[in-house]
Amino acid sequence: GFFPLQGHVVRNWKVRWFVLLQDKLLYYKIEGGKKEPTPKGRILLDGCTITCPCLEYENRPLLIKLKTKTNTDYFLECCSREERDSWALDITGAIHAGHPVQVQELHRMKNSFKLLENISLHNIVERMYDSSAGIKLTRNLDQGNRYKETFTGSSLVDWLISNSFAVSRFEAVTLASMLMDENFIRPVGVRSTEATRSSDPSEKFLDDSTALYMFAESSKKNTSSKEEVHFNISELSGTIVKQGFLVKQGHKRKNWKVRKFVLRADPAFLHYYDPTKEDNKPVGGFSLRGCLVSALEDNGVPAGVKGNVQGNLFKIITKNDIHYYIQASSKAERVQWIEAIKPLT
């Protein structure tokens, strides 16, 4: 799959195609819409340690960090928590291939708690911000420090249960821990901050009326410009249906770039982002109403497509007759995207 990877010399982000093998993680450069035959680099997994979730970059909360036995750090960014956890599980399995007990324990921990299918962390945060039904923010004093717009650990647990996001306090604490892991909320004050240093994941978030938390800076609503207000209120207000990395042909230069696509419903929009940029603003997007979407045959290069492309192409034609040519990483992924888009047109 595609992941933005941070460079070692120039600390910028480049999107690479990753292939996980039994003892190594290979990554390839994409040129002209096609994967180059020779790997750009490799991460040897023997003696590697993995950190997931990794919160070293506030604007990139979905990172996996790999540290090799030669102390080289690799940061890979995923599109969603589910994708991140799935890759982290597979990479950990490859690292500990000779230790099946550790792999079984990892599977047990991963499957011990699951979010309900109709709940996403992004939706929970949106509900938390609601002025009437959201979490109540208050001023709190902690060892002489006064914090604005905070909430207690126990009040968040109560709120999650009362809004049917969890059925027990244990589930609510687990859910609150996920919100903290994903950098949606952060601890403030001595008690809650010290708890994050616990080696036991179940004790990092405190169901306590003296433990203080607040929204993390990266998840605060930023409405400083008219453009952002426009996006937030209209196009970006829909429910996320699907997201992932796809390769898109440009309109002017006809070159191929990996973009992060986000499909939303109510209103139905498809936006795409440059995953190498630090901000989280779309570089393009369009309404899906009146669009036509179809798969393109892989036997030859269709008219309108430039370059020696890999295949798995599909096309979206907007009601204004703008043609978008997009590549998925596999035929199965192409089918999934087409089936997700069609009901929204």
Distance CA 120, CA 184 (A): 12
Domain that holds residue 179: 121-215
From its phi and psi, is residue 49 left (phi > 0), alpha (psi between -120 and 50) or beta?
Answer: beta
Of the three residues 110, 141, 168, the one that is the final residue of a domain is 110
Tell me the mean pLDDT per 10 residues along the chain, length 345.
84 91 91 84 91 77 89 90 84 79 57 56 86 85 72 90 85 88 85 80 82 71 40 67 91 85 91 85 89 83 72 91 91 94 95
Residue 293 contacts residue 342 (beta carbons within 8 Å): yes
Say which DSSP state 124 is in: H
Q: How much is the pLDDT for 25?
A: 95
Task: Give a yes or no: residue 226 inside a domain.
Answer: no
Burial class (CB in 10 A: 0-12, 13-18, 19+), 80: middle
In a domain, 151, yes or no: yes
Is residue 1 assigned to a domain? no
Tell me whether residue 108 is exposed, middle or buried, using C-beta atoms within 10 angstroms of its C-beta: 0 to 12, 13 to 18, 19 or more: exposed
**Residue 42's pLDDT is what?**
93
The encoded tokens of residue 309 equal 């492309």
Residue 8 inside a domain? The answer is: no
Q: Are residues 200 and 138 located together in one domain of the fold?
A: yes
Residues 52 and 139 in one domain: no
In this structure, what CATH number is given to the domain that contains residue 191?
1.10.10.10
Distance CA 278, CA 6 (A): 12
- Answer yes or no: do 294 and 249 share one domain: yes
CATH number of the domain within which 253 lies? 2.30.29.30
Q: How far is residue 340 from each of residues 76, 260, 329, measured CA to CA in Å?
A: 26, 16, 16
- Quick one: 183 and 249 in the same domain? no
Same domain, 82 and 136: no
Q: Is the peptide bond before 282 cis (omega within 30 degrees of 0)?
A: no
pLDDT for res 222:
38
- How many structural domains compose the chain? 3
Regarding whether 274 and 186 lie in a shared domain, the answer is no
Distance separating alpha carbons of residues 262 and 249, to the nearest angstrom: 17
Domain end marker among 187, 215, 243: 215
**Is residue 3 assigned to a domain?**
no
Answer yes or no: do 103 and 170 share one domain: no
Residue 96: inside a domain = yes
| Same-domain pairing of 243 and 208 | no
* 132 and 203, same domain (yes or no): yes
In a shared domain, residues 209 and 237: no
Question: What is residue 305's predicted lDDT score, i.e. its pLDDT?
Answer: 80
Contact at 8 Å (CB) between 186 and 58? no
Residue 228: the pLDDT is 41
Is residue 268 domain-shared with residue 243, that is, in the same domain? yes
Q: Check residue 259 and give its pLDDT.
A: 93
Q: How many CB atoms lie within 10 A of CB 167?
A: 11
User: Is residue 85 within 8 Å of 110, Cβ to Cβ?
Assistant: yes
Residue 90 lies in a domain: yes
One-letter amino acid at 274 equals D
Asked whether residue 131 is assigned to any structural domain, the reply reads yes
Domain end: 215, 243, 274, which one? 215
Are residues 239 and 337 both part of a single domain?
A: yes
